[in-house]
Amino acid sequence: MIRSLLVICLTQSVWGAPYKALPKANGGRDALPLMYDAPAVIYRQEQARPVPQHQAPVEVHLRESPREEPVPRTHREDSGENLMTSDAIMNIVKATDFASHKHHYQRRKDPEGSPYIEHPVAVAHILTQLGKVSNPVVIMAALLHDTVEDTDTTFEEIDREFGPKVKSVVAELTDNKHMTKDERKRWQILHAAESTHEAKLVKLADKLHNLRDIERSLPVNWTEERKTQYFNWARDVVAGLRGTNAPIEAALDVMFAKYCTATQKPDFWKTVV
C-alpha cells in the first residue's frame, strides 16, 4: 500500500494536478516555494441522480483486484505502535511530494540520467517491502535523506514541515560538505556504529539501492576498478550497521559476495585524508 501511495504522489507531482512543476531554483531557501500552507480543500459529495422511471437500473459487477496478503504484525520490523495511521500516511505522501519538488531537476549518474527522485522512493520501498519497516519517521527520513545535502533545503525547513524527529534523522544522514570527499567516506565508516537505529535503517537501504543501481548500470565515466572500490567502501560502512535489519543486510551480503575484494585492513580508512 505504501509503495502505491508513493507512486501516485510522484505521478501527480511530475505530470499534473494539483499544481505545475516549479521553476528551477536559483539558490536560497525560498527558491522552490512550499505548497503546504494552502487551506484544506473541502470536497462536496455529488448527489446521486435519480434513475428515470422508464429506465431500469443498471446492475454493475465489480471484479475485485488481487491483493497482497498483509504482513503479520509479528513479522514487522517495528513494534505495533508504529503501524500506519491515516496521519502517518498523509505525512509520508507529503514527504514524497516535497522530495519530488526539491529533486525535480536532478538526475542520477547512470547513462540514462534517471530522475533523482527514483532513489529516495526506492530507499523507502526497500525499507517497507524488504525490511518490513513500518515506522513513519524512518520512511519519511528515507524520502528526505538527500534534500538538505543536495538541494537548497534547510534543517529548519524539515523541522517545520515534518517535525523534530524526522529532522534529527535527516541530520544524521547528511554529509558535511565542508569535508573533502575522502574525509566524508572515512567519517561514514568510523561513525556508522554511533548512528541511531532509525538512521542505520535508512543507511542500509540507501547503500543497497546504490549498489543495485551500480550493478544494473555503471555510472558515467566509472571504471570497473572504481566500482570495486565503491563496493568495498560500502561493505566497510555496513560493518558498523550490523544487527539492524537482517533481510536488508542479507541482500547486501549477496552484493558484497559478488563484487568485493579481500577485506581491507581495519585501520585502512584511518589513513585516508
Whether 49 is in a domain gets the answer: no
Domain count, the chain: 1
Is 150 a known active-site residue?
A: yes
Whether 21 is in a domain gets the answer: no
Report the pLDDT value the prediction gives residue 158, as an integer from 0 to 100. Answer: 98
Query: What is the gyration radius of the CA atoms in the chain, in angstroms?
Result: 22
Q: Model-level pTM greater than 0.85?
A: no
Beta partners for 107?
Answer: 115
Residue with more model confidence, 63 or 204: 204
Which residue spans within 85-209 are E strands per DSSP?
Answer: none
Report the pLDDT value the prediction gives residue 84, as an integer from 0 to 100. Answer: 80
Q: pLDDT by residue (tens digit) across 66-101?
A: 444 444 443 455 544 446 899 999 999 999 999 999
Report the pLDDT value the prediction gives residue 262, as an integer from 0 to 100. Answer: 78
Q: Identify the residue whose cell numbers are 550497521.
A: 241
Q: Is the pLDDT of residue 30 over 50?
A: no
One-letter amino acid of 141 = A
Q: Which of 149, 182, 194, 253 is catalytic?
A: 149
Which CATH number fits the domain that encloses residue 114?
1.10.3210.10
Using pLDDT thresholds of 50, 70 and 90, give the confidence band for residue 216: very high
Q: Is the pLDDT of residue 191 over 70?
A: yes
Whether 106 is in a domain gets the answer: yes
Q: Is the pLDDT of residue 126 over 50?
A: yes
CA atoms within 13 A on the CB side of 116: 18
Q: Which of 150, 152, 172, 175 is catalytic?
A: 150
Using pLDDT thresholds of 50, 70 and 90, give the confidence band for residue 18: very low
Q: Which of 80, 73, 91, 98 is nearest to 10 (CA)?
A: 98
Q: Which domain holds residue 102?
A: 2-13+76-271
